[in-house]
Amino acid sequence: QQQVKQSPQSLIVQKGGISIINCAYENTAFDYFPWYQQFPGKGPALLIAIRPDVSEKKEGRFTISFNKSAKQFSLHIMDSQPGDSATYFCAASNSVAGSYQLTFGKGTKLSVIP
Amino acid sequence: DSGVTQTPKHLITATGQRVTLRCSPRSGDLSVYWYQQSLDQGLQFLIQYYNGEERAKGNILERFSAQQFPDLHSELNLSSLELGDSALYFCASSVDSVGGRELFFGEGSRLTVL
């Protein structure tokens, strides 16, 4: 069964600090690795995504680091702000019979305290 | 606003009952995905439809079924409900191509089975 393992389950960071969330996967056929952000009462929304041909992707304060050989990827949030407090899900997908279904990690609840 | 509409937002019912959750995808998206979100299992993929046809099946119970109609809206039917079926059910839509894998999630339907 395809799996994506995510850690930590919860994270408390001071305002201005760096938040780091890690994920590991098993299926080497995965070729797309997105991170989704979910606020209470809302559905998940795409934050940033990476493909395995690059080792890092940065968008503003958010960076994905990707280690293909270790089958791991991580999300770094620089200068974390209280507005970043949300649940973050890593995910992975590949094409199976034309379907790009996502397999999600179990989520990390991030709390950024002032 | 993701453009994906789910109804109802909240639903309370009793064990043994049957409910139908409805989803309208983003304009132009042909793929609809259904996910179940519970506290301990995270986001679990249930089923995907593409342009009216079932494309992929995940951890969907036999008591659950879905369909996608010619106007591309989708319905998830849950029958013989059990306490453990209480969860958030998300619908997501996508263009579903190599270049367009982003899933756009609705705000979910919260089902409570008493």
| Distance of alpha carbon B93 from alpha carbon B32, whole angstroms | 4
Q: Select from A84, A85, A87, A63 the least CA-distant residue to A75.
A: A63
What residue type is assigned to position A49 of the chain?
A: A
Partner residue opposite B58 with nearest CB, options A34, A95, A101: A101
Tokens of A66: 């990707």
Q: What is the pLDDT of residue A2?
A: 56
Whether residues A99 and B50 touch (CB distance < 8 A) is answered with: yes
Q: Give residue-wise pLDDT tens across range B33-57.
A: 999 998 777 899 999 999 999 999 9
Q: In chain B, which residues have their Cβ closer than 8 Å to the Cβ of A41?
A: 107
A43 part of contact set with chain B, CB < 8 Å = yes
Q: Is the peptide bond before B8 cis (omega within 30 degrees of 0)?
A: yes
Taking the CA of residue A99 and the nearest CA in chain B, the distance in Å comes to 6
Q: What is the pLDDT of residue A101?
A: 82
Q: What is the pLDDT of residue A94?
A: 84
Burial (CB < 10 A; 0-12, 13-18, 19+), residue B28, is exposed
Report percent pLDDT > 70 for chain B: 96
Whether residues A42 and B41 touch (CB distance < 8 A) is answered with: no
| Distance of alpha carbon B87 from alpha carbon B94, whole angstroms | 23
Kindly tell me if the per-residue pLDDT of B96 is higher than 90: no
Whether residues B102 and A46 touch (CB distance < 8 A) is answered with: yes
Q: Select from B91, B74, B92, B98 the least CA-distant residue to A100.
A: B98
Q: What is the pLDDT of residue A96?
A: 76
| Distance of alpha carbon A1 from alpha carbon A53, whole angstroms | 24
Taking CB atoms and an 8 Å cut-off, how many pairs form between chains A and B? 64
| Distance of alpha carbon B24 from alpha carbon B72, whole angstroms | 7
Q: List, in order, residues 6 or more apart from B61 with CB less than 8 Å away.
A: none
Whether residues B94 and A100 touch (CB distance < 8 A) is answered with: yes
pLDDT values of chain A reduced to their tens digit, one per residue, 114 residues: 558 999 999 999 999 999 999 999 999 989 999 999 999 999 999 999 999 999 999 999 999 999 999 999 999 999 999 999 999 999 999 877 777 888 999 999 999 999
A108 part of contact set with chain B, CB < 8 Å = no
